[in-house]
Amino acid sequence: MNPRTPLFRRWAGPAVALLALGALGLLARHAPAPALVNESRSLPRGLYLRAPGATPRRGAVVAVPQPGPARAYLGGLGVPADLPLIKRVAAVGGDTVCREGGVVRVQTRRATVMVRDRRGDMLPVWMDCRRLEPGELFLLGDTPGSFDSRYFGPVRVSDVDGVFREFLTW
């Protein structure tokens, strides 16, 4: 096919994009995944690349398996149990995290806690006020509707599947 023909120009871009997405899909099936696609509203939607050797610290984006309380809730929404959560680290061991009523305080940040999700279903309840132990992380998404540690509590650093960096968002 001649690259100057309208048919070639019309289909070349989408074909290359489709091949690239297919290749990313194959890469994502390898453990550990070198890249993750975030389609949730917790963080900017897009492609996140693994940062080899990076450690989870405040502000880092991490992937974790669904904690028990999260798995039960998300399973009821039809979310596969093996789909990791992609969240930002808001607090680390030594930081104080408090849930008081409808607000979680993490250091100087305040995050509203919802009782029900957009469908009207009850959200899991995590209630505590304490200093995180070494090896614990408290995760918050970037948006108020994020399903994160506000609802399932801290996670263990040892459970983190990796630290990821934003690569391409949409």
pTM, entire model? 0.82
pLDDT class of 19 with cuts at 50, 70, 90:
low
**What letter represents residue 129's amino acid?**
C
Give pLDDT, residue 32: 82
Backbone CA torsion sign across 106, 110, 114, 117: negative
Which whole number is the average pLDDT over 95-102? Answer: 96
What's the rounded Cα separation, in Å, for the pair 160 and 36? 14
Give the Cα-Cα-Cα angle 140, 68, 121 (nearest 5 degrees). Answer: 70
State how far the Cα of 63 lies from the Cα of 164, in Å rounded to an integer.
7
